[in-house]
Amino acid sequence: MPVTNQALPGGYQLLNYRIDRQISRGGFSIVYRAYDETGTPVAIKEYLPASLVLRTEGDIVNASSAENLTSFRYGMKCFFEEGRALAKINHPNVVRVLNFFRANETVYMVMRYERGRTLQQQIQMRQDQMSERFVRQAFMHLLNGLREVHTHKILHLDIKPANIYLHSDGSPVLLDFGAARQTLTANRPKLAPMYTPGFAAPEQYRDHDRLGPWTDVYGTGASMFACLAAFAPQAADARLQEDHLVSAKKIWSGQYSDNLLEVIDWCLRLDPLERPQSVFALQRAIRDIPPPKRKLTFFGNLKRVLFSEIGA
Amino acid sequence: MRFTIFQESRKGGREVNQDRIAYTYSRETLLLVIADGMGGHVGGEIAAQIAVRLFVERFHQEAKPRLRNPLGFMQDTMLRAHAALGAYASQFSMLETPRTTCVAVVAQGGQAYWAHVGDSRFYLLRQGKLIGSTKDHSKVQYLVDQGAISAEEAAVHPDRNKIYSCLGGLVDPVIDLSRRTPLKNGDILVLCTDGLWSVYPRSELSTMLTSTPILSVGPRIMREAEERGGPDGDNVSAIIVRWGPETLTDELSTTTDALAPGEFETEIEDTLTLADRTGSSRDLTEDEIERAIAEIQSTIQKYRK
């Protein structure tokens, strides 16, 4: 028996979209690149929980057993919430939803196709240390998007480098709000979300009534930490048992500004109340960091001039 | 991997069975797990179910076909189950978190590993001798260890059912992890809940299991335990494994050699179909699906610049 769901094949016509290829596969869905009728690329997210094997061939999703159907429909509710949340947000640093429809006995969300790569890939590919300037700029913009998300009374709850897309000009886009509708855990164990160890805040493991903007602040801090370290900080649940996390300030003192390192450490406090309490507070702290003194080379200078010319 | 396996869970004199048991195996790894949902606490059976299901599902994710770190896997899964129970309680605004004990055993590469929380037990028997076991996280075990009472006194102590570590409790669980223990052919692995061990002395179990094929003696033990428990007896559950090719006659052993990578065999004894506790977790109707989609589409239009 095949143990994974079959993806739609390349060339498959899904309403007015033509599937090109599968881009990624997550716990709840498969994401494809596709083209609309004008040839514009889009990303299409197909709701198809990996823990339920529902399509072993063809295109129709078949929740055959009653138990499967229940879990399937329950997860669909979460998928709707993600769609509802994103539909309202039109911000350059948040992925844009273009369409939402039902087909093949499941549901699909069409999003703007973002070119570039994830911050995760960026971290893995990089040769040398990420510059302070890059980290600050990327996160400053990202936090603009996250602020917009919070304004709509939505928490992302899965901020991590793999969910942050970078355009070639370095501007970030926040992706994948799949985890945002958490707490579908217990009585539907098949759909239980697994938090990303290292990036999930301690309150995500247990104190669900303590979730708030500070929870996404933790994920942001962990992502910044990962940019510097190239690995995730110790998982929060393990930290609660025995905290082995060495402060950013200790590890990278002298290589990055004290202020940036202090902000990272601040975001990674275990007690939610000790972290920046809002994205705005965090942005203010990052903005207050004096830019590092850097020698301007001729090309660096030129780049600056060019970027300011094109308004980047 | 070759073994013979028996598992059963009986209600005893109780109205509901709050025990949950399961085994599952890949080509190279076997997982056994038992959870005893705590009576007197809301939703004990739900707690046991969540713990066992989580174990099985995580096993299917991680055993490919071996677990990289069996003890780490068990510890991590228990912590996740503990967190999931807290989340469940807050989702349904329950006053009390559902609680359960849990004991799990992994056999892999000819080695056994086990972990437990509470007073569900594991015994590893070799030629009738106990070579490994769990130690209850119970008040009476603590008193015995302190030398305050004897084992005989513990068996009739009024607080013999009180445990100080469980999944879903107010404080984080104390999780005991075993050492890696090599298995030999003919070894007997027994996981059981207190419904069994409180009425069946270990020596008696050991004698019965050593001399008789487990598939025939297993059901007998279970029936007998239920009878000994009496009209108000606890739920009784056990998983019994004889390791290696069967040497006793008439015993059907299981081999995992035929399983392809990524394949699993699973047996879960769960009698409970989880009922929804509030309207919020109700199934979506066709109508609601259509309405949700229409609503999202109109929102997209509205916010399109």
Closest CA to B190 of B126, B241, B249: B241
User: Confidence class of residue A110 from pLDDT cuts 50, 70 and 90?
Assistant: very high
> Poorest-confidence range of A120-129, A136-145, B260-269?
B260-269
Judged by CB atoms closer than 8 Å, whether chains meet at B296 and A84 is answered as: yes
Calculate mean pLDDT across residues B279-283.
45
User: Confidence class of residue A198 from pLDDT cuts 50, 70 and 90?
Assistant: very high
Place of tokens 């309490």: A277
Percent over 90 (pLDDT), chain A: 45
Q: State which of A20-34, A121-135, A210-224, B142-156 shows the largest mean pLDDT.
A: A210-224
Mean of the per-residue pLDDT values of chain A: 82
**A257-300, pLDDT tens digit by residue?**
999 999 999 999 999 999 999 999 999 898 766 555 554 455 54
The fold for domain A117-304 equals Transferase(Phosphotransferase); domain 1 (1.10.510)
User: Residue B295: its chain A contacts at CB < 8 A?
Assistant: 84
Which value does ipTM take for this structure? 0.74
What is the predicted pLDDT for the residue at A211? 80
Determine contact: B46 vs chain A, CB below 8 A.
yes
Cα A132 to Cα A286: distance, rounded to the nearest angstrom: 11
Closest CA to B21 of B250, B269, B273, B272: B269
- So where are chain A's domains? 13-112, 117-304
The CATH superfamily assigned to B2-273 is: PPM-type phosphatase domain (3.60.40.10)
Cα B236 to Cα B224: distance, rounded to the nearest angstrom: 10
Determine contact: A21 vs chain B, CB below 8 A.
no
Judged by CB atoms closer than 8 Å, whether chains meet at A185 and B84 is answered as: yes
Cα B80 to Cα A285: distance, rounded to the nearest angstrom: 34
What is the predicted pLDDT for the residue at A293? 53
Q: CA separation (Å) from B111 to A275, B107, B177, B243?
A: 45, 6, 14, 11
Q: State which of A11-20, A49-58, A65-74, B292-301 shows the largest mean pLDDT.
A: A11-20
Backbone angles phi, psi at B103, to 5 degrees: -135, 135
Judged by CB atoms closer than 8 Å, whether chains meet at B303 and A89 is answered as: yes
Pairing relationship of beta strands B129-133 and B236-243 according to DSSP bridges: unpaired
pLDDT exceeds 60 at position A248: yes
Judged by CB atoms closer than 8 Å, whether chains meet at B281 and A188 is answered as: yes
User: Residue A185: its chain B contacts at CB < 8 A?
Assistant: 84, 87-88, 91
CATH 3.30.70.20 is held by the domain A13-112: no
Question: What single-letter DSSP state applies at residue A297?
Answer: P
- So where are chain B's domains? 2-273
Judged by CB atoms closer than 8 Å, whether chains meet at A101 and B297 is answered as: yes
Determine contact: A112 vs chain B, CB below 8 A.
no
pLDDT exceeds 80 at position B203: yes
What is the predicted pLDDT for the residue at B90? 84
User: Residue A52: its chain B contacts at CB < 8 A?
Assistant: none
What is the predicted pLDDT for the residue at A63? 72
User: Residue A241: its chain B contacts at CB < 8 A?
Assistant: 172
Determine contact: A76 vs chain B, CB below 8 A.
yes
Judged by CB atoms closer than 8 Å, whether chains meet at B290 and A102 is answered as: yes
Calculate mean pLDDT across residues B49-71.
93
For A201, the token pair is: 């805040």
Candidates B300, B302, B304, B305: best to mutate against A (most CBs of A within 10 A) is B300
- Amino acid identity, residue A295? K
Calculate mean pLDDT across residues A36-51.
89
> Poorest-confidence range of A7-11, B1-5, B278-282?
B278-282
**B156-194, pLDDT tens digit by residue?**
888 888 899 999 988 889 999 999 999 999 999 999 999
Mean of the per-residue pLDDT values of chain B: 86
Determine contact: A87 vs chain B, CB below 8 A.
yes
What is the predicted pLDDT for the residue at A195? 67
Assess contact for B95 and B42: CB atoms under 8 A: yes
